[in-house]
Amino acid sequence: MLGSSKPLDQSATDLSMNGAQPMHDEALDDLLIVDPQLKEKYEHEQVAPTEDAVAVPELPPAVVSVREKLRVLFLSYEDDVFEDGSATQGLYVAYGPFFEEVHVIVFTKATHSFSGLQIAENVWAYPTNTTIWWKYPYDAFLLAREQLYFAKFFRADIVVARDPFELAGAAYCIARWFRTPLVVYNSSSVYDPHFLDEHDNNSYRVWWAHHIISRADHLCVTTERLKRTTLARHELAEVSVSVVPPYMELSPPTQPLDRNLIHSLYPRFTFTLLVVAPLANDTRVTFVINAVQYTLRQYRSIGLLIIGDGPQRAMLEALVKSKGLEEQVLFLGEVPPAPYMASAGMLMELTDDEASDSVLLQAVLLELPVITTAGATLGGVLEHNVSALICKTGDLGCAIQSIAHYMNNSAERLHFAKEAKSRLLATGTSRTASIEQLVFVLARVVSQYRGIPVAVLPTSTDEVKQDTL
């Protein structure tokens, strides 16, 4: 449980949990999820191993385990899973009742010196403690092969990579070694033409993504838009890509936010526009600057605040200075956006990529009016002239007109913001619903991979739902 995580005994090569071992079957060649109605049949009949099975000659051929939940191995970068009380640790603890076992290999740096941890009755986390970044996949593979596998012969029913890059590379090797299906999660804007500019290593990450996505047994994406883009870029059957919306924390901030923060910091501004974006390429923020410059020149008491940092910051600052707007366009760097969202007049999110969703989500929850694009609507929560103003991507004229419209219609602007929040709260994905959907997808993948029926999927900690997949 949270707050009572148990460190793993690092002196043991099998990562024993202070005497508590991961649950395991006597046989390795089944690892199946079956319909309870077939349980008696499977218990009393010999089941021939599939060609994907791992042969263990010493095991009696008639011994077959029948489980109603999956054993899942996640690969992640979320090192805060080792921090008691963190949101990430809470999410993996919440996975516990839905799975037989949850194991998480986390890509961590050796300098952090994390130790293996049992964070719930059936949930364990293992750090790679890698010395050089390019060894992450190799260290994860060794961890799975030499420690997880030999911890009383644990083998996952399915391997899930939290991104299509280094995590997916390691997960691919692990899944193929243990002959188990691979599911890759993708929530990033890898298909964005500007993705290469956002990080020095993104060129090889794009290669990883294209290589792994076409070879994974299933792909999970966070939005219908990303699913359409993925299907257009890869020769995949539509059924091999599932939309699993991320868990959205819809509760209000734990600490009250200062609605007068911007005014107290910049009293010269009577109204402020906000942009939250990485300064990794010039086109995104340049578009906003070009759209807002006419309003800023006409009203010197209006300001534009830009949250984010990156290699193009100096160039963008030079652009602002060349337009004579350096007193009104301020670069705040990497700061938490929520306090500024709570006190700004409107958000301009005029890019069309997956990263925009998290920004819009925060803005809508804080009732900040938004101007966005047709590709970033939070699944229809944002509707033009109902809960937001929406422009086509790259439509500068629409952006200029939308800014002027919001400035001249404050009542409508605030009404749109309240309507957007109301819609989001009515349609937002709860943590339980998000986990249930993930369990459903993973069970279906295992069923197809092993060629067996899957019928039992838990829908809460004390309920079981039966479906035919």
Q: In three state form, how does the secondary structure of the chain look?
A: CCCCCEECCCCCCCCCECCECCCCCCCCCCCCECCHHHHHHHHHCCCCCCCCCCCCCCCCCCCCCCECCCEEEEEECCHHHHCCCCHHHHHHHHHHHHCCEEEEEECCEHHHCCCCEEEECCEEEEECCECCHHHHHHHHHHHHHHHHCCCCCCCCCEEEECCCCHHHHHHHHHHHHHCCCEEEEECCCCCCCCHHHCCCCHHHHHHHHHHHHCCCCEEEECCHHHHHHHHHHCCCCHHHEEECCCCCCCCCCCCCCCCCHHHHHCCCCCEEEEEECCCCCHHHHHHHHHHHHHHHHHCCCEEEEEEECCCCHHHHHHHHHHCCCCCCEEEEECCCCHHHHHHCCEEEECCCCCHHHHHHHHHHHCCCCEEEECCCCCCCCCCECCCEEEECCCCHHHHHHHHHHHHHCHHHHHHHHHHHHHHHHHHCCCHHHHHHHHHHHHHHHHHHHHCCCCCEEECCCCCEEECCC
Instruction: Pick out the chain residues at pLDDT < 70.
Output: 1-67, 148-154, 189, 192-200, 246-255, 281-283, 351-355, 375, 379, 427-430, 452-469
Give pLDDT, residue 35.
38
Model pLDDT, residue 416:
96
CATH of domain 6-247+433-466: 3.40.50.2000
Q: Which CATH superfamily is domain 261-427 in?
A: Glycogen Phosphorylase B; (3.40.50.2000)
Say what the pLDDT of residue 39 is: 38
Please, where in the chain does CATH 3.40.50.2000 lie? 6-247+433-466, 261-427
Residue 170: per-residue pLDDT: 93
Tens digits of residue pLDDT in 125-141: 999 999 988 889 899 99
Question: What is the structure's pLDDT at 18?
Answer: 36
